[in-house]
Amino acid sequence: MKAKLAGIASNAGMSEVFRLRGADVYQVLDVEHVPGVEVPPAQCPPCHIARLRQLSQRLAACSDLAGLLEHAVWDTPARSLGGYSANVKTLHGPGFALLGNAAEFLDPVFSSGVTIAMRSASMAAGLLHRQLGGAAVDWHSEFAVPLKRGVDCFRAYVEGWYDGSFQPVIFFAKANPNIRRMICSILAGYAWDLDNPYVAEPQRRLAVLSELCATSTINEKDVV
Ligand SMILES: Cc1cc2nc3c(=O)[nH]c(=O)nc-3n(C[C@H](O)[C@H](O)[C@H](O)COP(=O)(O)OP(=O)(O)OC[C@H]3O[C@@H](n4cnc5c(N)ncnc54)[C@H](O)[C@@H]3O)c2cc1C
């Protein structure tokens, strides 16, 4: 009982407020607002029970996963992610260049995060080396523009997944191996390879391909 109450207090962010004793169970009948200095609401960082409940409800709604996880043991605290994508006004300025998540974070599911972090770091390192060697470096045209090109390519596929336009392509039964290779190549991190037509015009190509896959039974080879 004592541990249960301590757990509830901790999950409600009240562990520093009340000293819970096993036998001390009170019913709150009334609350009076006392004028004076307002204490900011208690932060409730890991509401594990609420999140776990939310997670299991969502999983139960997925009929395929619910069966698979029927005997799962829920022994790991559930976490939640919210408002994780980010965008910045500029990727560089006097004395700084933004790399990886600091520059832009698209999504935690596709492997864009590590690719963009490594790519931006490697681009900036090369330019910095040149600059420190005395060469003139245009951070806009040599860093920001080419970096953004690959990020925007990734973005087209990531956003396509969340708006549902990428799924018909992924699950197209008669997938053309060449197109599949080109798209896999992007998702594997080659989002800066301009020889790949799906990199050069990601949004337009994906939109056309998605439309064809969703509505027709023709072979994709006609749309390369
Ligand atoms: C749940 C989740 C799953 C993910 N899965 C994938 C995946 O499968 N594939 C993929 O490619 N990407 C994935 N990502 C994204 C990927 O982890 C990030 O995009 C990537 O790690 C960004 O690298 P970074 O070096 O820019 O930033 P980070 O890896 O966040 O590194 C920043 C570092 O700076 C430190 N730091 C912060 N503030 C300070 C400070 N003031 N002083 C000193 N140090 C500081 C931090 O502690 C951290 O170590 C995932 C992200 C999440 C959240």
Q: Is 179 exposed, middle or buried (CB count within 10 Å of its CB: 0-12, 13-18, 19+)?
A: buried
pTM for this predicted structure: 0.67
CA of 101 to the centre of ligand 1 (A): 6
How many independent structural domains does the chain possess?
2
In this predicted structure, the answer to whether residue 206 has a pLDDT above a threshold of 70 is yes
Which residues have CB under 6 Å of ligand 1?
99-102, 105, 108, 111, 113-115, 117
Same domain, 117 and 50: no
Residue 12 pLDDT: 61
Domain co-membership, 41 together with 107 = no
Kindly report the backbone phi and psi dihedral angles of residue 63, in degrees, each rounded to the nearest multiple of 5, phi listed first: -60, -35
Verify that 15 and 116 share a domain, yes or no. Answer: no
Tell me if 173 is assigned to some domain.
yes
Rounded mean pLDDT of 58-73? 80
Nearest to residue 48, comparing CAs of 56, 36, 39, 40? 56
User: What is the average per-residue pLDDT within 197-206?
Assistant: 91
83 in a structural domain: no
Looking at per-residue pLDDT, the higher value among 186 and 36 belongs to 186
Same domain, 98 and 48: no
Q: Give the residue, out of 114, 123, 154, with the most ligand 1 atoms within 8 A of its beta carbon, to mutate for a pocket test.
A: 114
Alpha carbon distance 115, 104 (integer Å): 12
Which carries the bigger pLDDT value, residue 16 or residue 165?
Answer: 165
CA dist., res. 147 & res. 17, Å (int):
49
Q: Are residues 27 and 63 in the same domain?
A: yes
For 30-43, letters b (16+ CB in 10 Å) and e give eeeeeeeeeeeeee
Most confidently modeled range among 70-79, 104-113, 179-188: 179-188
The predicted structure's pLDDT at residue 204: 92
Q: Do 208 and 110 have their domain in common?
A: yes
Flag whether pLDDT at 200 surpasses 60: yes
Is 186:196 a contact under the CB 8 Å cutoff?
yes
Q: Which domain holds residue 114?
A: 92-223
Q: pLDDT class for 135, splitting at 50, 70, 90?
A: very high
Question: Is residue 16, in this structure, part of any structural domain at all?
Answer: yes
Tell whether 126 is covered by a domain.
yes
Q: What is the pLDDT of residue 220?
A: 47
From 68, 101, 121, give the residue that closes a domain. Answer: 68
In-domain check, residue 58: yes
The answer to whether residues 57 and 147 belong to one domain is: no
Among the atoms of ligand 1, which is closest to the Cα of residue 84?
53
Nearest to 125 by CA among 144, 148, 104, 143: 143
Q: Are 143 and 123 in contact (CB under 8 A)?
A: yes
Q: How far apart are CA 173 and CA 169, in angstroms?
A: 9
The percent of residues above 90 in pLDDT, for the chain, comes to 38
Q: Are residues 117 and 160 in the same domain?
A: yes
Would residue 74 count as lying in a domain? no
Does residue 223 carry a pLDDT above 50?
no
Nearest of 79, 83, 157 to residue 115 by alpha carbon:
157
